[in-house]
Amino acid sequence: MIDAARQLAVRAAVRLDAGVNAEMALDQELRAAGIDHPQRPRATDLFYQMVRWQIRLDHALSHCLSRPLRDLQPEVRAMLRLGALELLVERHPAYAVVDSSVSLAGKLAPAAKGLVNAVLRRLATAGDGPWPEDPVLALAVRHAHPAWLVGRWLAQFGQDDTLAIMAWNNSRPPLWVRVNRMRGTPAAYQDQFQVTGEPHPEAPTALALAAQPVRKLAGYGQGWVTPQGVGSQVVSAMLPLSPGWRVADVCAGHGTKALALLERQSRIEVLAGDLRPEALRLIPGEARRLGLPAPLTRSLDAAHPPRELLGSFQAVLVDAPCSGLGTLQRHPELRHRCQLEDVARLAGEQARILAGAASLVAEGGVLQYAVCSWEPEETTAVVEGFLGTHPGFAQVGRRWLTPCRENTEGFFIAVLRRSLAEDHSGR
């Protein structure tokens, strides 16, 4: 009998190889199999483990193949990676891994049964093979991270913290939720729904739950909880708010942070803006589920905001598009897709967005910049460049979040305040 979870994981990996993002690739396969498929948890775990450990798996497989892994049929490549994961990382018995992998090949790629059998038998004997001689490259392969990124982290954080960051990225994340303050506290949520969860000291509304489909969360339909990572919750919590303020979230996406702001302070007017109008369509329904006043939504380019909005917000949040390199635990495919040149390109876009968003801030108001990255180009360089060209703003707060210190995803947050005297009419 073919193991349905392994088959689902391989099919999702094929979609990922074709360019689909990891979450969508897995979701498409699970929907095709039936969204409540009993093998969903195991298929999900196998798939994400394959993606997390791919660099190490490919290194090991390269010593057991007579041709490049990239030249193989996508289904075969994915089956070999899955077998390598089970052998090298999960340490399953070799006979069981080889047998189940050959059976799976018979279903998905019958002509490759012999290849799968031979390669995995070799791998069971050879193990990881020799590590690269270069110490940075060896560290990168062993911990399945791109070498260019490991080199940067070693220079920025040192070896101990870099190892801690990579270990975090390779661990299985829980499902973090934000408990709706309008409903009650995390303790009240746990008591009412008999839920076991783990709080986090950095975010008083955060609770870690066992991974499960979001819509099956206890209290989800009643608006008690919303999936949101701890770092993202800290970003929402750091923005200063007062009753009666007009607040703009100019890169709002699906509105997770905009709605978190309303849970903190319902007596504010929130504009949720994004370049993609389709992302904003979910926000009114989410507000209803949470029992909140719906934010205003508007499709806009934060780098070039509408003139009629200039200087009209007491607080503006810029959660800018970024490399996401601080979120490799939850988005492991980024370690294969993001390159150094992407970081520089994104930094230019972030600088333009921050400058545009600044024009929305009223005198005396605050501008908060956040990215889920530690890379200098996207963090301090963007803020320092902005302050150098906008003398009417001053930095009044800064926060770094790292797995090795705060036990969260990687974030950089800067809070800037506009002086009362600045004239914004010359934009």
Which residues belong to the active site?
A: 372
Instruction: Kindly report the number of other CB atoms within 10 A of residue 1's CB atom.
Output: 5
Q: Which of 390, 355, 392, 353 is nearest to 371 (CA)?
A: 353
User: What does the DSSP assignment read for 114-144?
Assistant: HHHHHHHHHHHHHTT-PPPSSHHHHHHHHTT
8 A C-beta contact, residue 54 and residue 90: no
Sign of the alpha-carbon torsion through 87, 93, 98, 103: negative
Q: Which residues contact 226 (CB under 8 A, 6 or more apart)?
A: 177, 178, 180, 256, 259, 260, 286, 290
Strand pairing report for 175-179 and 225-227: antiparallel
Q: Which residues contact 117 (CB under 8 A, 6 or more apart)?
A: 98, 101, 102, 105
8 A C-beta contact, residue 346 and residue 239: no
Which string of b and e fits 223-239 if b means at least 16 CB within 10 Å?
bbbbebbbbbbbbbbbb
Which residue shows structure tokens 């990168």? 140
Q: Which of 173, 273, 185, 270 is nearest to 230 (CA)?
A: 173
| Rounded-to-integer distance, Cα 79 and Cα 218, Å | 36
**Which whole-number Å values give the CA distances from 385 to 347, 388, 417, 418, in the listed order?**
11, 5, 15, 16
The single-letter DSSP state of residue 289 is H
- Stated as kind and residue range, the H or E segment containing 284 is helix 283-290
Q: How many CA atoms lie within 13 A of 192 on its CB side?
A: 15
Q: Which of 417, 422, 378 is nearest to 400 (CA)?
A: 378
Q: What is the dihedral of CA 403, 173, 166, 57, to 10 degrees?
A: 180
The single-letter DSSP state of residue 242 is -
